Amino acid sequence: MGVRFSLVDDTVNTAVEGTYSVTYDISDAAGNAAPQFTRTVNVDGTLPVITLLGADPLDFSVGGTYTDLGATASDDIDGVITSSIVVAGAAVDTATVGTYVVTYDVSDSAGNSAVQVTRTVNVVNDPPVINDFSISPDPAFINSAATFSWDVSDETYPNLSRHPSQEMIMDLWFVSIRGLYWVSGLV
């Protein structure tokens, strides 16, 4: 065949990150030289970095609409590689209370994989909200009868609303200051 190939410059050190040039000379059997060819080689051992957007862990109300808050990814050579992120892990079931783990992975063009990043999504029941609460007599005394009434709203149980008055025997503190109190007794 008679093709002569010559490696003019090869200083690539695969143990040291950086940009290297490799130069080649090629000629045929008659001695006709092709233009010298130089190839740029990037040695990249730096891992890309994934950064979560938003909270982790994320508490989310059961029954709502979950939208992933996402993440960004960057690499020292490739720059912004957010569009290459692969989101996987558990599908967040907003109808079921539980803990779900969403994973984020990305690799750069050199094949370096970022350290996997995860987000924990806790689908939780929100506590019911007491919209109106009354006690009679006000104040109520220890070991005396009192009547309580309340109106509660709860997104998880929408049929839970108005509760009829209940008479209880107080076994706690003297209640005369508005605030949050734990009341226990006999219904």
The answer to whether residues 133 and 148 touch, using CB atoms and an 8 Å cutoff, is yes
Question: The tokens 């490799």 sit on which residue?
Answer: 22
Of 96-100, 156-160, 169-173, the poorest mean pLDDT is in 169-173
Do 58 and 120 lie in one domain? The reply is yes
Task: Give the confidence band of 187 by pLDDT, cuts at 50, 70, 90.
Answer: very low
Do 93 and 148 lie in one domain? The reply is no
Do 135 and 111 lie in one domain? The reply is no
Domain span holding position 35: 4-43
In this structure, what is the dihedral angle of CA atoms 28, 34, 36, 41, given to the nearest 10 degrees?
Answer: -80
User: Is 43 a residue whose pLDDT tops 90?
Assistant: no
Domain C-terminal end among 124, 144, 171: 124
Domain C-terminal end among 124, 147, 162: 124
The answer to whether residues 37 and 20 touch, using CB atoms and an 8 Å cutoff, is no
The number of domains in the chain is 3
At residue 162, the pLDDT reads 45
At residue 139, the pLDDT reads 64
Choice between 18 and 133, residue whose per-residue pLDDT is larger:
18
Choice between 86 and 138, residue whose per-residue pLDDT is larger:
86
At residue 52, the pLDDT reads 98
Mean pLDDT over residues 31-46, rounded?
87
Percent of the chain past pLDDT 70, that is, above it, reads 66
At residue 186, the pLDDT reads 41
User: Is 183 a residue whose pLDDT tops 60?
Assistant: no
* Beta bridge partners of residue 162, listed in sequence order: 151
Do 172 and 116 lie in one domain? The reply is no
* Mean residue pLDDT across the chain: 78
pTM summary value? 0.61
Do 102 and 87 lie in one domain? The reply is yes
| Each residue's pLDDT tens digit, 83-120 | 999 999 989 999 999 999 999 999 999 999 999 999 99
Task: Give the confidence band of 174 by pLDDT, cuts at 50, 70, 90.
Answer: very low
Distance, in Å, from the CA atom of 92 to the CA atom of 62, rounded to the nearest integer, reads 10
Do 133 and 119 lie in one domain? The reply is no
* φ/ψ bin of 78: left (φ > 0), alpha (ψ from -120 to 50), beta (otherwise): alpha
Closest by CA to 176, choosing from 144, 131, 128, is 144
At residue 54, the pLDDT reads 95
Do 116 and 131 lie in one domain? The reply is no
Choice between 117 and 148, residue whose per-residue pLDDT is larger:
117
Closest by CA to 166, choosing from 140, 150, 148, 183, is 148
